[in-house]
Amino acid sequence: RSETVLSALADGVLTLTLNRPDKLNSFNEDMHRALREGIRRAHDDSAVRAVLLTGAGRGFCAGQDLGDRDPRRGGPAPDLGHTLDMFYNPTLRLIRSLEKPVVCAVNGVAAGAGANIALACDIVLAAKSARFIQAFARIGLIPDAGGTWSLARILGEPRAKALTLTAEPLMAEKAADWGLIWKAVDDADLMDQAQALAASLAAGPTLGLGLTKRLIQDAATNSLDQQLDAERDAQQQAGRSADYAEGVTAFLEKRSARFSGR
Ligand code: T3D
């Protein structure tokens, strides 16, 4: 049986490649489990200092494998709330709670939950030919995998509603113009740029980067007072790290810092 998620660790970067290219890397249960295991490993393994998520073949991810939801097979209607609880939501939470940077290289179409998993990552690069499709309305579902949350938050209601109610594709360059992703890059350059970015993050001050990620995420729901307190606590922690001492020493010695991630 072929692996549904390829996993490779090099230079502190754990690369997770969704690997059901014949189905545009849509999710079956096996791929759900494999992706979740991959991100759990990133939580648990201190050798992992950044994650790079991408897809094999011409697509990034087409969301749920609809072949596994064929109503023509009969039987009761599927319990989709349960599958969100079992599969999509834990993965989303693992990505957001990982105190290490997650780079997503969207190599091709990202549809349904596939689009929204990409948007949950910390820095998203997309090939110019890639498109993001909130495909749910085409099949009578609502945008899940955090889509209503991230789209409303990043784009505001007018664009979030238009994208989700029409299911119109959004090309990568426009997604970047709208601030939904970090960058759209030439297709041929995508993986080089994404790998270089992930490698430079993995060589960074991991503890400080993890705290920064959490602060930015928490800012949306914190008051300024709460956020100032959270910054104080995080800076207290960062100030005790070996990487802070190294960063300042390297500056004073006019050389590049060699961060250990601690
Ligand atoms: O169920 C739950 O647990 C609830 C959670 C739901 C989360 C969701 O993600 S719901 C949304 C599910 N996804 C979709 O509705 C997208 C379906 N796919 C498409 O609309 C199109 O495939 C794309 C717009 C993504 C790409 O179009 P195109 O023309 O580039 O490719 P294609 O020819 O449609 O697809 C290529 C192959 O992949 C094709 O197989 P074939 O004919 O070559 O054997 C196609 O059937 C297969 N494929 C693409 N998406 C899926 C899929 N097979 C199963 N499930 C898919 N989602």
For 70-106, write each residue's pLDDT tens digit: 999 999 899 999 999 999 999 999 999 999 999 999 9
Burial string for 76-99 (b: 16+ CB within 10 Å, else e) reads eeeeeeebeeebbeebbebbeebe
Per-residue pLDDT reduced to its tens digit, 162-199? 999 999 999 999 999 999 999 999 999 999 999 999 99
Residue 1 CA to ligand 1 centre (angstroms): 22
Q: What is the CATH number of the domain that holds 222?
A: 1.10.12
Kindly indicate the confidence band of residue 28, based on its pLDDT and cuts at 50, 70 and 90: very high
Q: Is the CB of 86 under 6 A from ligand 1?
A: no
Candidates 239, 224, 125; CA nearest to 182 is: 125
Q: Is the CB of 63 under 6 A from ligand 1?
A: yes
Provide the percentage of residues in the chain whose pLDDT is more than 70: 100
SS3 call for 246: helix
Q: For ligand 1, what atom is nearest to the CA of residue 138?
A: 15
Domain boundary among 202, 226, 241: 202
SS3 call for 105: strand
Q: For ligand 1, what atom is nearest to the CA of residue 23?
A: 38
Q: For ligand 1, what atom is nearest to the CA of residue 78?
A: 1
Candidates 49, 59, 54; CA nearest to 25 is: 59
Residue nearest to atom 42 of ligand 1 (CA): 23
Task: Tell me what pLDDT residue 36 has.
Answer: 98
Note whether 95 and 217 are within 8 A (CB): no
Per-residue pLDDT reduced to its tens digit, 31-69? 999 999 999 999 999 999 999 999 999 999 999 999 999
The reply to whether 85 falls in a domain is yes
Task: Answer whether residue 1 shows pLDDT above 70.
Answer: no
Q: Please, what is the average pLDDT of the chain?
A: 97
Look at the chain and report how many structural domains it folds into: 2
Q: Domain containing 220: what range?
A: 206-252
